[in-house]
A and B are shown apart, each in its own frame.
Chain A
Amino acid sequence: MKLLSVLSIPCLLVSAFFSNAAGSKFTAKPNEAVFQVHGVVCSFCSAGLRKKLSKLPFVDHSRYKKGIHVTIKNQRITMAVKPDATVDLKAVYKSIKSGGYDLIKAVVADGKGVSTYYDKKGNLCIDCS
């Protein structure tokens, strides 16, 4: 009986607290790129993403932390891009994979804020916003 009581505690923990958060629009600010990455739910586990992505030459280290901001609430990575630099999506995809995660889609905004969307294979995507 004592054991049953003890085992019931995790069940109570699991059943506690659920509420939906409003979904946010998939956009990027000027000179930024945003990546939707599946599985990013723990910042401690996703430290490798910052480590890998921040090494890319077009990342602007003067913004965010080493140019990368991870938002685990919606599993998105925001990358600050150097002005007039071109985002090498293949390099980004490779870095995310080696960081332990899987990229789903991306949006890259140039200096004027014009956004271009890409799917998980790096192809242009009109339904990814």
Chain B
Amino acid sequence: MYRLFLIVVWFFLTLSFSYAHQPVMDMAPRWEDGYGFQFRHEYYGSNNLMDSDSRISNPLGLERFVNKTWLEGVYTFSRSNRITFKLPYVQQRRIKNIAGVGVKQETNGIGDLVLAAPFKFYKNLRANTRNFGITPSVRIPTGRSGGDFPISDGSWDFGLSISYSSEGYPFGKDNHIKIYQLYDLFYWQNTEGKHDMHDGNELGLDINIGLHPYHNDQINAGMFIMWDITARYNRTPNSATLTTASGGKRVQTGPVLVLYKDNIMFRSEYKFLAYENTRNVSVSRGHKLNIGIGFTF
């Protein structure tokens, strides 16, 4: 039990991060002509074979592991209007069942570029700031779609998200500890790409709830401690799809630690798989690690 506690603490302190699919930070920069960028590393994967919501035996040793290193950027025209980009470098490997044999495949390369234009409507109350956001996005097929293990299905995809976030003292008093919360509901309409591949549409909900328990005005530094809940519903890819896309429903959840000093923010996040239903026989998505550092100017 003590070892389990140490493992949890270790994950909590050293791993994990990020605002789900939203580029850069939700909170900044909110000033005119502000800009920022973020490096974020994401890792997920598993060698558990699932049939719907049941783990089944995996005699061929099928597996799928994905590393993505994201470069993300934002420019703020005004606090209501921003543009963002996300570009991943993908390293992926899997063992796939091909004619009854487990075949190892690996691919590296640039992934699909995501451009978005968040519109945020702010409301500043006494000790509380909140915003409602609408974010249209487009995913441009810059990733390689050829070969037997492509990074992209080669399609132009279109997304729309609605979000709400707030930070402050929920009861309007000057409490020592503030609450942060983010709710983000989004949908990606995936179109058919190259070689008849179609990754399938995606519906998602991200929730971040937590505390802002420490801030030091003198050194302008502090921390957030949050809990992240990520729910996804993915339509099953068509049979021509050779990417890592897989259908099903899943909920991943875990702790988030955010540290900041001046214009630098570090965020880490570990999410374990709380629920998964692959709707057919498929390798599980497994747990997810996220770690990132962002700068705003």
Contacts and interface: CB of A to CB of B under 8 A. Distances in A.
Contacts, number: 137
Contact of B129 (A14, A41, A70): A41
Interface of B: 25, 27-32, 34, 78-79, 122, 124-129, 167-171, 173-179, 207, 209-213, 215, 217, 220-222, 225-227, 229, 251, 253, 260, 262-263, 265, 274-275, 296-297
Nearest to B175: A18
B274 A3 contact: yes
A45 B28 contact: yes
B132 to A, nearest CB: 14
A74 interface: yes
A121 interface: no
Q: Which of A7, A43, A75 has the most CB of B within 10 A?
A: A43
Contact of A13 (B27, B174, B227): B227
Contacts of B27: 42, 44-45
A102 interface: yes
Interface string A78-111: 0000000000000000000011111010000000
A29 B173 CA distance: 26
B260 A70 contact: no
B66 to A, nearest CB: 23
Given A38-B126, A70-B220, A44 B211 contact: no
10 contacts: A3-B251, A13-B209, A13-B211, A39-B122, A45-B27, A45-B167, A48-B32, A70-B217, A100-B29, A100-B122
A43 B227 contact: no
B210 A13 contact: yes
Contacts of B79: 100
A126 interface: no
B175 A21 contact: yes
Contacts of A73: 174, 215, 217
Contacts of B251: 3
B273 to A, nearest CB: 11
A89 B227 CA distance: 41
